[in-house]
């Protein structure tokens, strides 16, 4: 079944090529399509394009399909083009001509736009919760190991004292910033395109404000042409936010691989999280961190892939946009998988508590000595030269008792401020509005 098919005989190879991976990708959108359809028929009843009895029959069957999806009993039949066609086919088989009325005032263009937005904003909510859990864990580890020092590096040369408190906390704050970008992407996503039809509106007196409220959107995409132009733009915008999160996690994974190596020996990954070598019995490879790094680096390429697909397309719909689903939809699952495994790794990681006992790190305390001389009245440049000569002549004796007090330093991590910032950003998403609207929609009678 194809919603556009009339009396044209379709070449099977052309059909297979044009459908592509739509059936596989559309299963991710099934529940979203049902929610959009419930809102749409509610609006059709309101403007008297559906009789109350027709609305009730459609509502019952749509809820039945929704429940079948929840129970993993829903599938797209062979020969059916996409999720929209499958749902309309089920309704038509059950209700006859009433089932055919569900597409009144809609195009597959605004239908897929809506499905993608509903799927994306719900998945962002799930992802936000997972990122929040990772941030909380990083802050816990930061507080736990705040007094354990490790060398800080610039140019991969030992530089100044750092700490595991700073290290864990840095990634917590980085993810908080990433959440802010994700919130901006969510707000761009959370606008209703339903009613824009094929991109030029409809002669039906559609009530777009009603569907916007029913689905818990912040507002609608007002201009129907722009609503259609949003296809690809929304995916690109959200994928940039996902790429930011992936970049932070990739950097953390690289640090962990480095710190776990024998040359550094700052951390130790438990045996159950490592793999061995087929010929070297001593090997314990950090494969999980390496795979996380690779997957996150691939995620960072997705915005560019989407840009290359949608770049220079004029306004209006083009089939090119179908391909963005294949890149965009699976990215959420990949990122979620990486976050879950990183959480397990961070929970189990072992910390070397005596790293700076090794004399090879003594020179990182040079700045502490310079600053101490300055505090005693010696000009900074003179103090700098004095300590430099002591290091060169082998006379430098470090004082490893450091005292940093300013905000964001070893002795004042400001983790409470980072946690507060995280909560403020999460509250700014206002997921409650969406959740309440969807709950009310599913409880409609």
| Whether residue 193 sits in one domain with residue 53 | no
Both tokens of residue 275? 């793999």
- Average pLDDT, 10 consecutive residues per value, the chain (445 residues): 54 66 84 98 98 97 96 89 92 96 95 97 98 98 97 95 97 98 98 96 97 98 96 97 98 96 93 82 88 97 96 87 93 97 95 94 94 95 95 92 94 97 98 98 95
> In this structure, what CATH number is given to the domain that contains residue 129?
1.20.200.10
Helix axes 52-70, 83-95, angle to 10 degrees: 120
| Residue 158: inside a domain | no
* Residue 251 to residue 104: CA distance in whole angstroms: 50
| Residue 248: inside a domain | yes
Strand partners, 153: 158
**Of 86, 103, 120, which residue constitutes the final position of a domain?**
103
Q: Name, in order, each residue with C-beta under 8 angstroms of 139's C-beta and a sequence gap of 6 or more.
A: 168, 169, 172, 415, 418, 419
pLDDT reported for residue 16 = 66
| Residue 139: inside a domain | yes
| Residue 211: inside a domain | no
Strand partners, 412: 409
| Whether residue 437 sits in one domain with residue 381 | no
| Residue 212: inside a domain | no
| Residue 6: inside a domain | no
| Whether residue 34 sits in one domain with residue 183 | no
| Whether residue 436 sits in one domain with residue 289 | yes
| Whether residue 138 sits in one domain with residue 21 | no
| Residue 157: inside a domain | no
Both tokens of residue 235? 């995916």
| Whether residue 385 sits in one domain with residue 325 | no
* Cβ–Cβ under 8 Å, residues 415 and 143: yes
> In this structure, what CATH number is given to the domain that contains residue 78?
1.10.275.10
| Whether residue 196 sits in one domain with residue 343 | yes
Sign of the CA dihedral running 393, 394, 395, 397: positive
Q: Name, in order, each residue with C-beta under 8 angstroms of 280's C-beta and a sequence gap of 6 or more.
A: none
Both tokens of residue 282? 């001593």
Does the pTM surpass 0.85? The reply is: yes
**Of 103, 120, 137, which residue constitutes the final position of a domain?**
103
Query: Each residue of 308-345: pLDDT tens digit?
Result: 999 988 988 888 888 999 999 999 999 999 999 999 99
| Whether residue 118 sits in one domain with residue 249 | yes
DSSP letter for each residue of 124-151: HHHHHHHHHHHHHHHHHHHHHTTT-EEE
| Whether residue 254 sits in one domain with residue 392 | no
DSSP state of 9: P
Sign of the CA dihedral running 216, 223, 241, 119: positive
Q: Which residues of 110-140 are buried (b: 16+ CB within 10 A; e: fewer)?
A: bbbbbbbbbbbbbbbeebbebbbebbebbbe
| Residue 26: inside a domain | yes
Domain residues for 300?
A: 108-145+166-203+220-356+415-442
| Whether residue 271 sits in one domain with residue 187 | yes
Helix ranges, 102-207 (H): 108-144, 164-189
pLDDT reported for residue 25 = 82
Domain count, the chain: 3
| Whether residue 349 sits in one domain with residue 284 | yes
| Whether residue 69 sits in one domain with residue 184 | no
Strand partners, 351: 267
């Amino acid at each position: 079944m194809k919603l556009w098919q009339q009396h044209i005989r379709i070449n099977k190879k052309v059909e297979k090529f044009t459908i592509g991976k739509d059936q596989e990708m559309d299963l991710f959108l099934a529940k979203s399509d049902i929610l959009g359809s419930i809102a749409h028929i509610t609006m059709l009843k309101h403007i008297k394009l559906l009789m109350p009895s027709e609305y009730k029959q459609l509502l019952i069957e749509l809820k039945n399909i929704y429940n079948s999806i929840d129970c993993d009993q829903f599938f797209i039949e062979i020969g059916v083009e996409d999720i929209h066609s499958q749902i309309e086919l089920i309704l038509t088989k059950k209700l006859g001509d009433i089932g055919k009325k569900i597409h009144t005032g809609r195009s597959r263009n605004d239908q897929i736009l809506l499905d993608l937005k509903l799927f994306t904003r719900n998945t962002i909510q799930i992802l936000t919760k997972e990122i929040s859990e990772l941030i909380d864990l990083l802050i816990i580890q930061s507080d736990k190991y705040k007094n354990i020092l490790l060398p800080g590096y610039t140019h991969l040369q030992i530089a100044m004292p750092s700490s595991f408190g700073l290290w864990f906390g840095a990634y917590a704050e980085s993810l908080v910033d990433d959440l802010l970008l994700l919130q901006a992407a969510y707000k761009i996503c959370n606008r209703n395109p339903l009613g824009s039809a094929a991109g030029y509106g409809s002669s039906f007196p559609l009530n777009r404000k009603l569907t916007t409220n029913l689905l818990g959107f912040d507002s609608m995409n007002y201009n129907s042409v722009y609503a259609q132009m949003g296809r690809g733009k929304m995916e690109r915008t959200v994928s940039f936010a996902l790429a930011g999160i992936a970049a932070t996690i990739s950097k953390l994974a690289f640090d962990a691989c480095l710190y776990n190596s024998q040359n550094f020996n700052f951390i130790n990954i438990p045996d159950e999280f490592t793999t061995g070598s087929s010929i070297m019995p001593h090997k314990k490879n950090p494969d999980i961190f390496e795979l996380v790094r690779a997957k996150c680096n691939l995620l960072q390429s997705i915005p560019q892939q989407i840009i290359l697909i949608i770049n220079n397309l004029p306004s209006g719909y083009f089939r090119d946009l179908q391909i963005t689903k294949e890149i965009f939809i699976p990215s959420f699952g990949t990122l979620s998988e990486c976050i879950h495994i990183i959480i397990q790794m961070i929970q189990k990681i072992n910390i070397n508590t005596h790293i700076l006992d090794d004399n090879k790190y003594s020179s990182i305390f040079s700045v502490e000595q310079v600053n101490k001389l300055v505090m005693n009245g010696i000009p900074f440049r003179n103090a700098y030269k004095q300590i430099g000569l002591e290091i060169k002549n082998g006379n430098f004796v470090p004082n490893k008792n450091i005292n940093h007090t300013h905000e964001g330093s070893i002795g004042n991590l400001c983790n409470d401020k980072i946690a507060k910032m995280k909560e403020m950003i999460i509250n700014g998403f206002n997921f409650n509005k969406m959740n309440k609207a969807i709950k009310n929609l599913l409880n409609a009678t």
